[in-house]
Structure 1
């Protein structure tokens, strides 16, 4: 049976974006024709976590409502370089625990992290959604692989906008940043666009 994963930010004993995580879990159960769900807030409460600091609460669950948890200390990584990787068949509509294909793409690349390109459109990295800066405005690709909770929250708050970002227009953006449930929208933690080592007009893309 497929297993799914939620990674929830816990900082100083407080959970973040839990309602978005719960909505995604509920949608996963409903999509696969299962009634009910698991209660993420209750799972966290039962852990009786009493440590301050930043943690990732990792919950792996299946459609029989079996789950296991890990509370992992977390630090936001700084990444040396990125590579555009073309894969037109990859699908990650649900947050599956199985990341073999993502890891395979990373292993074949020449960079620390990958940006997955699907049908010439920018999607996500191997573990995050993306934001791109043009002028003073931040945009997120409309062609995401997974509609992450941080992405949903920022769009709802109108802090970012959704747009089509492709191989043809990516160089119109000056900087980018990675967002997920643990990596917040942070205008001070951004990368210049040339951190992508194979922008159009430079090296060949990786076609996987």
Structure 2
């Protein structure tokens, strides 16, 4: 079995959203390994001395035990093209390090920056993020998600995001799209256009 992993945002030497990462690790280990004891990243991760101010990505690889903790510099990348792909059998309930299915999907669309997976014409997730869509008043996220994202859960708990069924045909009702994950929040939001199965991002004035 592949190891699992967590990506944790480290900003100015502070680890973000740890309780949500703890919960996902606890849930994953209980369901995969039958382990029921609590888990606490705050007492597990030591931030290296070379980490300074700014934003870094902390990656934790684990199975029944923590296998590796790594830190990397992080730079935000803005997508230009998102491809929609219907993949009814795709499943990503646990955050495995083996991302071969995602990588194969991205290879099919070399001109796309990411692929949004649809199932039965419903929006699920992109390969590296949950989806959020803004209608001009509220932010929504699909209730047909693939992975229980930590940032998604945080935004839902704080009533900054509303869960709903979102069809591919509903995309034209929305004004902005955001790809949310541990490193990306709703402030990285983009105006967009939809043409068949391609979402084109407007970078000039689309960043909220």
Q: TM-score, normalised by structure 1?
A: 0.88
* 1:144 counterpart SS class: coil
CA distance in 1, matches of 2:114, 2:146: 16
Q: Any idea what SS the aligned residue of 1:51 has?
A: coil
Deviates most, 129-138 or 28-37: 28-37
Helix, strand or coil at the partner of 2:123: strand
Match of residue 198, structure 1, among 177, 196, 199: 196
Deviations 1:97-143 (A, max 9, x none): 11000011111014121111112110111100111111221101111
- Runs of 4+ that moved beyond 4 A: 46-50
- Pairing 1:25–2:25 present: yes
- Residue 38 of structure 1, CA deviation: 5.1
Measured against aligned partners, the alpha-carbon deviations of 1:169-203 in whole angstroms (never above 9, x if no partner) come to: 222112211110110221xx322231x55348xxx
Alignment of 1:6-25 (within 5 A): 6-25=6-25
Contact 2:142 2:165 in 1 (8 A): yes
Shift of 1:50: 4.4
Deviations 1:126-172 (A, max 9, x none): 10011111122110111111110111001111011111101232221
RMSD: 1.8
Shift, 1:49, TM fit: 5.9
Gapped runs of 5+ residues in structure 1? 201-208
Aligned to 2:202: none
In 1, distance between residues paired with 2:51 and 2:178?
Answer: 31
| Distance in 1 (alpha carbons) for counterparts of 2:171 and 2:51 | 44
For residue 193 of structure 1, give the secondary structure of its aligned residue in structure 2: strand
Q: Secondary structure at the match of 1:44?
A: coil
What is the match of residue 133 of structure 2? Answer: 132
Instruction: State the distance in 1 between where 2:174 and 2:186 align.
Output: 17
The alpha carbon displacement at 1:42 in A equals 2.1
In structure 2, the partner of 1:141 is 142
Q: Which stretch shifts more, 81-90 or 29-38? A: 29-38
Indicate the residue corresponding to 2:178 in structure 1.
177
Match of 1:160 in 2: 161
Unpaired runs of 5+ in structure 2? 199-208
* 1:32-70 C-alpha deviation (Å, 9 max, x unpaired): 21243654222323645642210000001112x141111
Change (3 A) 1:49 1:16: farther
1:28 and 1:49 mapped to 2: Cα distance?
31
| Native 8 Å contact 1:29 1:36 kept in 2 | no
Rounded to whole Å, the distance in 2 between the matches of 1:127 and 1:58 is 14
Cα distance in 1, alignment partners of residues 100 and 183 from structure 2: 22
Q: Tell me the matched-pair count.
A: 196
Higher RCO structure (Cα 8 Å, ≥6 apart): 1
1:51 aligns with 2:52: yes
